């Protein structure tokens, strides 16, 4: 039975809209630091607080099996409303550093009911063609992540409050849209009770374990690359005298990943999700290793290779999620996606904080070499997955 034609476009639009607050605070980080006054030493914590909130949120959602026990669309809508309110806090008067960290943390917490829940909804509707559906869905998430940067690169972005207002309203509308138009899917198998031993059971599943380890390697690189791309472009400008527009090109480099997610989903229908993920990890890993050389290139070549990196670094994400989803049984599929996402984002905290520390020791031009290690391990586990 084919889903109604409006289902996937609605989920895609809602996913795009409701993930836009994710990096909204990051795009205006300088304005927020000036407003609250603690100094640039807090930047690393502001960048990581969203991730930390997301980790705790996904951990609780996973352990309580929220998405497998409750209607996913209702969970999605409630979390979208709460994420929108958390995002709006950033333009409240008398914002303090503590309020800033709380707002970013709570935004991440409620995004736990958006990103993995959106993937669960797709899995409930698409038993066949899940790799393609997730490709478009994660592509929407990537575009939602890039949207605040793109907005900040326009004349509207000159007023940072407009960035927050726009992302807040579209998040609210996206959550409402999904709830009204997307009921429970035909392949949803609700779980009737909490299974506190679900995580050990999942990791005893060899196919799940290999897929999850591949995903963890991908996550070590992805969000650190996104978080430090504007810093890398600013550094390139400082050493070459170039005038590359940092918010605009950060948005382009992140946003181009939405194209690779969709394209990877289409290609996965022909060659399989595992091969798409392996090839994307290899390309992004090579870009990590070549990164010191990129800062010596002319601006056009620098931006071309960095954009290729942005293209490759996301292409594997939906296919790795698909491999995780199909390795779990129906009644715990949502929990498998949520817990894997939780651990993956825990890894992003480590990589972002490590790069924040190392940038003062080894310099920006050598910083991205650190990211190459875990994509290589991800490739190793995915190659072994073939033989499981």
Over residues 188-220, the pLDDT tens digits come to 776 666 766 677 777 888 888 888 888 898 899
Report the alpha-carbon distance of residue 28 to residue 31 in Å, rounded: 5
pLDDT digits (tens, 9 = 90+) for 259-318: 999 899 899 988 988 899 999 999 999 999 999 999 999 999 999 999 999 999 999 988
Burial (CB count within 10 angstroms: exposed 0-12, middle 13-18, buried 19+), residue 1? exposed
Q: What is the residue range of 161's domain?
A: 7-181+196-385
Residue 186 lies in a domain: no
- Identify the pLDDT of residue 154: 66
69-84: per-residue pLDDT in tens? 888 899 999 999 999 9
In whole angstroms, give the CA distance from residue 43 to residue 30.
9
Residue 32 lies in a domain: yes
Q: What DSSP assignment string belongs to 240-256?
A: H-----HHHHHHHHHHH
Within a domain: 2:
no
Structurally, how many domains does the chain consist of? 1
Domain of 347, CATH number, reads: 1.20.1250.20
d(CA 360, CA 346): 23
Cα separation of 71 and 379, whole Å? Answer: 35
Q: What is the pLDDT of residues 356-370, one digit of tens each?
A: 888 888 888 898 998
The overall pTM is greater than 0.75: yes
Instruction: Give the chain's mean pLDDT.
Output: 84
Question: What distance in Å separates the CA atoms of residue 253 and residue 225, rounded to the nearest whole number?
Answer: 10
Q: Which pLDDT score is estimated for 157?
A: 60
Give the pLDDT score at 116. 84
Residue 322, CA distances (Å) to 127, 138, 248, 357, 369 in order: 11, 11, 31, 34, 28
Measured CA to CA, the distance from residue 28 to residue 95 in angstroms comes to 14
Q: Residue with structure tokens 């899917």? A: 185
Looking at the domain assignment, is residue 188 inside a domain? no
pLDDT tops 80 at residue 334: no
- Helix locations, the chain, DSSP H: 7-18, 24-27, 29-36, 43-63, 66-69, 72-88, 97-111, 115-125, 130-152, 160-181, 198-204, 206-240, 246-271, 273-294, 299-315, 317-326, 333-358, 364-367, 373-385
The tally of CA atoms less than 13 A away on the side-chain side of residue 272 is: 9
The answer to the question of residue 133 being in a domain is yes
pLDDT in tens, 174-186: 999 999 999 887 7
The answer to whether residue 323 sits within a structural domain is yes
The residue to which tokens 């809209």 are assigned:
17
Q: Is the pLDDT of residue 387 over 60?
A: no
**Residue 42 belongs to some domain of the structure:** yes
Phi-psi region of 329 (alpha: psi -120 to 50; beta: other; left: phi over 0): beta
Q: Predicted confidence band at 41 (pLDDT cuts at 50, 70, 90)? A: low
| Mean pLDDT of the region 115-140 | 82
220 within some domain:
yes
**Banded model confidence at residue 156, pLDDT cuts 50, 70, 90:** low
Give me the pLDDT at residue 280, please. Answer: 92
Both structure tokens of 126: 């698409």
pLDDT band at 42 (very low <50, low <70, confident <90, very high): low
Burial of 263 (0-12, 13-18, 19+ CB in 10 A): middle
pLDDT band at 38 (very low <50, low <70, confident <90, very high): low
Which residue has better confidence, 42 or 286? Answer: 286
190 or 141, higher pLDDT: 141
- Angstrom distances, CA of residue 205 to CA of 208, 333, 338: 5, 13, 16
């Amino acid at each position: 039975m084919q889903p109604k034609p409006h289902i996937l476009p609605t989920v895609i639009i809602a996913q795009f809209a409701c993930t836009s607050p994710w990096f909204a605070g990051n795009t205006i980080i300088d304005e927020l630091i000036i407003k609250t006054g603690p100094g640039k030493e807090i930047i690393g914590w502001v960048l990581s607080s969203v991730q930390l909130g997301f980790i705790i949120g996904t951990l609780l959602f996973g352990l309580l099996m929220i998405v497998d026990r409750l209607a996913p669309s209702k969970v999605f809508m409630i979390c979208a409303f709460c994420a929108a309110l958390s995002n709006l806090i950033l333009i409240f008067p008398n914002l303090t550093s503590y309020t800033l960290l709380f707002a970013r943390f709570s935004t991440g917490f409620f995004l736990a009911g958006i990103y993995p829940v959106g993937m669960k909804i797709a899995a409930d509707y698409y038993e066949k063609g899940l790799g393609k559906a997730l490709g478009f869905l994660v592509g929407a998430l990537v575009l939602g992540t890039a949207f605040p940067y793109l907005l900040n690169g326009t004349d509207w972005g000159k007023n940072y409050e407009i960035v927050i207002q726009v992302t807040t309203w579209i998040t609210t509308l996206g959550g409402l849209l999904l709830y009204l138009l997307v009921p429970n899917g035909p392949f949803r198998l609700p779980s009737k009770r909490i299974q506190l031993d679900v995580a050990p059971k999942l990791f005893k599943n060899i196919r799940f374990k290999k897929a999850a380890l591949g995903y963890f390697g991908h996550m070590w690189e992805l969000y650190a690359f996104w978080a430090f791309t504007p810093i890398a472009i600013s550094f390139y400008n400082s050493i070459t005298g170039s005038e590359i527009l940092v918010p605009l090109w950060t948005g382009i480099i992140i946003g181009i990943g939405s194209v690779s997610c969709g394209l990877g989903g289409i290609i996965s229908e022909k060659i399989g999700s595992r091969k798409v993920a392996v090839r994307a990890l290899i390309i992004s890993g090579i870009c990590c290793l070549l990164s010191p050389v990129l800062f010596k290139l002319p601006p056009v070549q620098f931006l071309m290779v960095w954009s290729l990196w942005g293209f490759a670094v996301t292409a594997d994400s939906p296919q790795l999620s698909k491999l995780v989803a199909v390795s779990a049984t129906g009644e715990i599929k949502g929990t498998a996606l949520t817990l894997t996402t939780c651990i993956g984002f825990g890894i992003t905290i480590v990589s972002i904080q490590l790069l924040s520390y190392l940038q003062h020791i080894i310099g920006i031009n050598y910083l991205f070499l650190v990211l190459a290690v875990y994509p290589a391990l991800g490739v190793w586990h995915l190659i072994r997955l073939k033989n499981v």
